[in-house]
Structure 1
Amino acid sequence: MVLRMESPAPALEVQDWVRGQPLANFQPGKVYIVDFWATWCGPCVSTMPSLMQLQEKYKGSGVEVVAVAAEEEAATADEVRAYLDAWFTEKFPKLNFRIGLDCTGEMKKLWMEASFSFGIPCSFVVDRDSHIAFIGHPADLEDVLPKVRDGIWRTSDQAKAADRERIARGREEAFLSKISPAIEMEDWKTALSAIEEAIALMPDSIQLRAAHADTLLHKMRDMQTGLPVLRQLVRDAIDRNAGNWLLGAMNQLSDPAYDYTGFPSVERFAMGKELSEHILALKELKDDVKAYSYQLVARYYHESGNKARAGELLELALKLVDGLYLADNIKQRWLTDLLQTLANYRGQTVCYGALSAVPENHAKPKAN
């Protein structure tokens, strides 16, 4: 059975409680945030302060946060518990919500797998009647939680649409996980057959559509069959004018990992130009997506000869990434990559804050 909005909340099969008092069952009349996370997951660690803020903000409204560590890597549960205890003491000594530990896989099976949730962080909101009200990224809780608390979220068209989209994405991920073994073995014909079967069932999946073009053009190098597929993908992305579609199509044209030898350059740049214009005109993108879009479009401008515009976009991306709330290692890696690309494009040393980079044929980026 699929776990979705309106489903009864599964049991709390937690082995141990690392922080806070044990919680055996969800109490009627309360709202719970059940967040799946891991210490090795940068985005998960980045959301901890916001979860603490939500707990403080809504503690008088019957809202409780319960974070579940179900992805830690250690030989025994005792080792995980000792590690988590030390980790929280160092990183979040003033943590104000419960931390549960499960190394058996039960919580993942009952919550994550049953809801087609394949990545962390992932938050589940349990409503006052112990039914699921929301499943998604914890970044969305600030908007959703007040509506859940007031009892107006589950009946809203927005909630129903979001849940349908989430399940569709989850099914995409399930299909892609089945395709992965063929891709890992570089059995492109088997992978292509599975992708085309999945597209027949889910024609509106950008992940599957992009994988279709990618397999034909970049894995099988079948230009005759792949180019019409890419043309249709670009056309559909522009017609939809949706960020994920536009970026998914653009990635097929402007990824530095791909070899575009043999790709008709005139057509490639024509499609890239049209996609770039639509991407840069998108409104209300989150800053991390906007930074990625600038980075992606900058590659097109550089390769098509507009190096000045490419540099401008990379500088905008640097400022956006610098302002993101990310784990330090993730932010540093992204800034370093952007700065190195900028140095390569300009053919000269460039600096940003404490970082500097010279063109890659001379040296690698370093901290001042």
Structure 2
Amino acid sequence: MAHAQDTAQVSFNIADPAPSLYVQEWLKGTPIQQFEKGRIYVIEFWATWCKPCIAAMPHLSALASKYKNKITIIGVSVYETKNTSTKEIQAFVNSMGDKMTYHVAIDSNNQMVDNWIHAFGEKSNGIPRSFVVNAEGRIAWIGHPNGLDAILTKMIADKWNINKALKDRNNEIQLNLLKSEASYSLLNHRYELDKLKIGDAEKAILTLNKVNEIVKEEPNLKNTGLINFYIFKSLLYIDQKKAHDYGKSMLKSNDNKYLYYDIIEALTYKEDSLKLQPEIYLLGAEAYQIEIKNVDDATLEDISQYYKNMAKWYWKANNRSKAVKAQKKSIKVLKNRQNYSTSDLSALESQLHQYKQKEVN
């Protein structure tokens, strides 16, 4: 993994002058030809099919209203399917009403994608993605729109350290490269282990040894989801008490608040092939509680499915009352959705009936 630093290259970076705007058509707001000195701009990349993008729109509208005298927000439609017409994008923007009250434009022949997203090395991060242009016309920050509040507050107060932002982003790029290489290394290691005639527990021990080697070589990987996922999954085979304790520490982590996802992924992957202890399923249910709490827009995610899975894990943990309670929430959430499937509702109600019957018996 020693060559990762050599590959941490991007064409442009924070503190560089902002590229030009390449717009096919303006759908909302007065057309903007160039960035005005003394004003801050947020370039927000989105698409009509992108649920996280849609979830961020009301918040962006609130920011546009709050800082209307100092900041201009421009939503640029990118990555639309070939069959999506300008008319359809316009209809979508119109349908959003006061949830999308900022400037909106359509990318011109992928030039915004090429000169912004790709040029700044952001292709792998997908959308939504926000670029902040400071009052001097330089890129000051790049990230997910849910991080804009703190950034814009500091910029308006002239307390934003662009040099520190550049250093932080370079560190992030480097870490992402290391994670990519570590992922490839672990997958290749697993491939080699599968060739050996050894049991799953022994494979888990060897995988854990490999993980420790990687972290020893690159300590910055220690708190990443990738490393935590492999450690937790390996411990499930080696010692489930240790797996439970390690999982609890993951949920309490201040360094990475999304580690709950790695617990859910590991348990979902292993629940049908490995006999798990009740406390492991309770850990998974707790992870789902955190995931539901972190949902930005309940209308855009299948919260009903989350509660359904939570109920299943409570049931497997022999906590019948919480299984019934979670299943009831799953049904309630589903009923609150527009145009929900009656077959989905029937399946949830049938499962609830089974939980209740077995609870009584």
TM-score after normalising by structure 1: 0.64
Give, in whole Å, the separation in 2 of the partners of 1:207 and 1:51. Answer: 28
Q: Which runs of 5+ in 2 are unaligned?
A: 1-8, 195-206, 357-361
- Count matched residues: 319
Sequence identity of aligned pairs in percent?
19
Which residue of structure 2 aligns with residue 66 of structure 1?
Answer: 74
Which residue of structure 1 aligns with residue 62 of structure 2?
Answer: 53
Q: CA deviation at 1:72?
A: 0.6
Q: CA deviation at 1:41?
A: 1.2
Q: CA deviation at 1:283?
A: 12
- 1:49 alignment partner AA: P
Contact 1:28 1:129 in 2 (8 A): yes
SS at match of 1:55: helix
Q: CA deviation at 1:142?
A: 3.4
RMSD across aligned positions (CA): 5.0
Which residue of structure 1 aligns with residue 199 of structure 2?
Answer: none
Q: Does 1:121 align with 2:140?
A: no
Give, in whole Å, the separation in 2 of the partners of 1:13 and 1:347. Answer: 58
Contact 1:5 1:132 in 2 (8 A): yes
2:227 to 197, 200, 209: 209
Give, in whole Å, the separation in 2 of the partners of 1:90 and 1:277. Answer: 37
Give, in whole Å, the separation in 2 of the partners of 1:190 and 1:104. Answer: 45
Give, in whole Å, the separation in 2 of the partners of 1:285 and 1:132. Answer: 33
Q: CA deviation at 1:137?
A: 2.3
1:25-104 matched pairs, under 5 angstroms: 25-61=34-70, 63-74=71-82, 80-92=85-97, 96-102=101-107, 104=109
Contact 1:318 1:339 in 2 (8 A): no
Q: CA deviation at 1:342?
A: 6.5
Give, in whole Å, the separation in 2 of the partners of 1:44 and 1:138. Answer: 9
TM-score after normalising by structure 2: 0.65
Q: Does 1:310 align with 2:310?
A: no
Give, in whole Å, the separation in 2 of the partners of 1:109 and 1:209. Answer: 32
Q: CA deviation at 1:151?
A: 1.7
2:19 to 8, 11, 33: 11
SS at match of 2:130: strand
Contact 1:5 1:131 in 2 (8 A): no
Which residue of structure 2 aligns with residue 362 of structure 1?
Answer: none
1:346-361 matched pairs, under 5 angstroms: 346-347=353-354
SS at match of 1:60: coil
Give, in whole Å, the separation in 2 of the partners of 1:336 and 1:102. Answer: 40
Once the two structures are superposed, what CA deviation does each residue of 1:274-299 show, in whole Å capped at 9, x if it has no partner? 5656886x799535599687665443
Give, in whole Å, the separation in 2 of the partners of 1:66 and 1:142. Answer: 16
Once the two structures are superposed, what CA deviation does each residue of 1:302-338 show, in whole Å capped at 9, x if it has no partner? 1122121123245557778999xxx968xx68x9979
Contact 1:246 1:278 in 2 (8 A): yes
Give, in whole Å, the separation in 1 of the partners of 2:114 and 2:138. Answer: 18
Q: CA deviation at 1:50?
A: 2.9
Greater relative contact order (Cα < 8 A, sep 6+):
2
Q: CA deviation at 1:38?
A: 0.2
